[in-house]
A and B are shown apart, each in its own frame.
Chain A
């Protein structure tokens, strides 16, 4: 029996080549896209699932109650971990980690590498296996990842070798004790090397300081300990060590939260860290990942709709066979199974082709979306099971529904050639509408996201972005010294206007790092809060900040070390009569130093446009302070030449560090990577959806025109014009598309409005977006159908009548 079924399935597939082609191509493309997207989603959801003690590992964060909101601080002070372990029962182990890039000297050669300053419990808590040497991290030890071992030592065995670590201005000898396996792609904790926390340059300052927060801290709970008990116990613990802070919070009008606490520790399970907004290691947008899953699902859905529609439309020609089989005594189940089997066969073919397409597209896909998935993921049992289940569900619905319809049909009707069509037309039409609703949704979303991106890129930020080069200094050099060397070198060179330095960048530079310091202090019983930025002199001049009062920092003024340049928001926060040049204030009641305002600049967007401009304090960096970024303002003409000139000067000033300068506008664009990725997803999803929908529409037009050949012939004999016939056929389809636009527009409006709310600065959703999207969908659909309808309209009526 099965042999005949397969045989007849193949003959049927072959007979309806055109339809089969549309089905298989549409399905393969959808499957390929869905597969790639699901691989990304799978990877994103598999983060940190490989730790043996995973169920007991938690990342610490601290929640602070403020009058209007709860602030979560993802980093911990140095003493937090050890003290918590000593005082709160239930904690088996604690690991603290500080990330930094360090300079190493190996046989006199200088290398830069990123390091995690941590402690030996790292090896006990996490499951990162040691491949060579031992998991030992003494005060003078260093553990390298396989990759950095290869980078630093090449083919020689590094275990037992000496390296020198730059700490401040001195070099400290370390021994390589072990090689640790590279962190898996799906690990939130990444490392190139591990060094003891005690070696951190700021360790002595921070060791007993509860207020300088800089470390990622993970705890391992005792087996059977509920994280909630730790959380509850953290109230008393934090009251003990942050009593003053809490008093200030109370005075500031904060309301107590859970357990009546003003401060509580948050315990984020390690598996949730990747998606947690409260961890510096995570922050991946879960919404974005779920959106990928959603797009994967509806691509499959849309391709399945094609399948259902085409199969139903084809059932006219299959009707006689089905009817005859019933007369010969075929059971409903046998018939359904046979028809479903044919669907399964097509799906299997599509799955094979789809996998092949996915395999070929994988490198391009990884490059486009920076997803870093590998095809080996497909071999994971869970993933295979997922594919099989999806296949069964999709074939069950897409193949089973038409099969059931046909098997159920009245035998006699079928034999007379009257396959019932009334109801299935509604069904078919609603499926077509659904397809185009998705297409329109994506077109509208793309247009709105694109408008917002253009808006973000073109909005004046209040400083010069296009003519300023930003150069990250890197860990090997003293930034202030390099800046002075550059100043001397570039002075008077053509195209170079001025330069300055700061300890934070604009946007995200090529070093891939961005940072914020926020300072809060009490002033007359009120809590003030400001962004804290260290700058060199000529900052306002270099960045073209508009001074509305006072002046920039200057080398000539010794008193500038206690001075601040502030922005308008800060002046406003100080209050009327205070926020002006010459205003004197203290940053702490106990700190005797008196500070003063030397200048006020017009508000500028020093953070991304997602946020409103907040108060900012800028202080001048002393010679020992770290200038982390150097900014060079160049003349508008010959930007590329200026970039080359700066690079050449850099290589003279800091020969050990490669030049990774970039224009500031590139850096500010880079802050919107999530949005840029989202736009890419919208566009790709939209294009695929439209292509697949149109393939379905095309095939549907072929079938419907085939059924209406006689009608068209009679109309032409009666004198209908070709244009009239095209309009007659296209109208039905375009009505459906129009309906889809009407449904999609409000939905898109609602969704995109939600999305835009993430931005403090945003475009409005203009009505023209909907008109444009609708017009595009209409045009594409009309073109698709017209291919067939024009052919039908131009056909000789005698010929079409004879075919009946």
Chain B
């Protein structure tokens, strides 16, 4: 489903350049649960951003569902963000001005899902995550773990084929972290969603079926 060929990423620094990723080759198949690990500054977040099409690679080829990402225009990428890709962030990035219900509903609005179906799908997710009672609260009224649950709910409501998670448990304590990781594992197994996560923790990596180690911009 995902193929990276000789992906390089560098930023100009003074007269030279600073290489973050060097000749990365990677293949991730449908239904995998991959954890990217490595020390700070190793380029793991950049790799995830490139995978999630938030950033462009400087060189190399990227095929997403056999389509060349490096040749896609903005419109096509926006389409993929609407349907095929879901994101989960360390800082949750919920919209503070929207309620839990409205936050989860937003991706469906951008996907032009009809109102009736929207209601039932948001209701299903709320039900599944045991958050029905909290649907009218605003994000600031929730605990960190609950906010991340909403974040995940929002990521999967549009039924993406892959979720990119950037240290999803980084701001959470261990109980909450375990709950979130179990949820990821369930989504991967039951719903068949491909999951790519960046993490520092071996414990979290253990929920996945494959670990990619990255150091100084190179896969180990």
Q: Which one, A236-244, A323-331, A557-565, A651-659, is touching chain B?
A: A323-331
Query: Is B93 close to A, CB under 8 A?
Result: yes
Residue in A4, A15, A324 with the greatest tally of chain B CB atoms within 10 Å: A324
Q: For the complex, give the distance between the alpha carbons of A572 and B184 in Å.
A: 107
Within 8 A of A (CB), among B156-194: 158
Residues of A near B78 (CB, < 8 A) are 329-331
Interface string of A518-530 (1 = CB under 8 A from B): 0000000000000
Interface string of A96-118 (1 = CB under 8 A from B): 00000000000000000000000
Contact in complex: A324, B95 (CB < 8 Å): yes
Query: Is B87 close to A, CB under 8 A?
Result: yes
Contact in complex: A327, B54 (CB < 8 Å): yes
Q: How many residues of A contact B (CB 8 A)?
A: 23
Q: For the complex, give the distance between the alpha carbons of A325 and B105 in Å.
A: 12
Interface string of B67-105 (1 = CB under 8 A from A): 000000011001111110001010001111110001001
Q: For the complex, give the distance between the alpha carbons of A328 and B105 in Å.
A: 11
Contact in complex: B110, A4 (CB < 8 Å): no
Chain B residue nearest to A14 (CB atoms) is B97
- B interface, over-half SS: helix
Residues of B near A8 (CB, < 8 A) are 95, 97-98
Contact in complex: A412, B55 (CB < 8 Å): yes
Residues of B near A415 (CB, < 8 A) are 54, 89, 93
Query: Is A511 close to B, CB under 8 A?
Result: no
Residues of A near B49 (CB, < 8 A) are 412
Q: For the complex, give the distance between the alpha carbons of A8 and B103 in Å.
A: 11
Residues of A near B96 (CB, < 8 A) are 321
Contact in complex: B109, A1 (CB < 8 Å): yes
Contact in complex: A15, B81 (CB < 8 Å): no
Give chain A nearest CB distance to B198 CB in angstroms. Answer: 14
Give chain A nearest CB distance to B71 CB in angstroms. Answer: 19
Query: Is B106 close to A, CB under 8 A?
Result: yes
Chain A residue nearest to B87 (CB atoms) is A327
Query: Is B111 close to A, CB under 8 A?
Result: yes
Q: For the complex, give the distance between the alpha carbons of A328 and B88 in Å.
A: 11
Within 8 A of B (CB), among A491-545: none
Residue in A4, A327, A331, A411 with the greatest tally of chain B CB atoms within 10 Å: A327
Chain A residue nearest to B54 (CB atoms) is A412
Residues of B near A329 (CB, < 8 A) are 78-83, 107, 110-111
Q: For the complex, give the distance between the alpha carbons of A787 and B165 in Å.
A: 45
Residues of B near A331 (CB, < 8 A) are 75, 78, 110
Residues of B near A11 (CB, < 8 A) are 97-98
Q: For the complex, give the distance between the alpha carbons of A8 and B110 in Å.
A: 15
Q: For the complex, give the distance between the alpha carbons of A153 and B84 in Å.
A: 87
Q: For the complex, give the distance between the alpha carbons of A669 and B90 in Å.
A: 75
Contact in complex: A4, B109 (CB < 8 Å): yes
Contact in complex: B87, A330 (CB < 8 Å): no
Contact in complex: A4, B106 (CB < 8 Å): yes
Within 8 A of A (CB), among B91-137: 93-98, 102, 105-107, 109-111
Contact in complex: A334, B89 (CB < 8 Å): no
Within 8 A of B (CB), among A296-347: 320-321, 323-332, 334
Residues of A near B87 (CB, < 8 A) are 327-328
Residues of A near B93 (CB, < 8 A) are 320, 323-324, 327, 415
Contact in complex: B102, A328 (CB < 8 Å): no
Query: Is A12 close to B, CB under 8 A?
Result: yes
Contact in complex: B97, A411 (CB < 8 Å): no
Q: For the complex, give the distance between the alpha carbons of A303 and B51 in Å.
A: 45
Contact in complex: A325, B54 (CB < 8 Å): no
Contact in complex: A328, B81 (CB < 8 Å): yes
Q: For the complex, give the distance between the alpha carbons of A323 and B95 in Å.
A: 10
Interface string of A1-23 (1 = CB under 8 A from B): 10010011001100100000000
Interface string of A234-256 (1 = CB under 8 A from B): 00000000000000000000000
Q: List 27 A-B contacts (CB under 8 A).
A: A1-B109, A4-B98, A7-B102, A8-B97, A8-B98, A11-B97, A11-B98, A320-B93, A320-B95, A321-B96, A324-B93, A325-B106, A326-B81, A327-B54, A327-B93, A328-B81, A328-B107, A328-B154, A329-B78, A329-B79, A329-B81, A329-B82, A329-B83, A329-B107, A329-B110, A329-B111, A334-B110
Residues of chain A having any CB pair with chain B under 8 Å: 1, 4, 7-8, 11-12, 15, 320-321, 323-332, 334, 411-412, 415
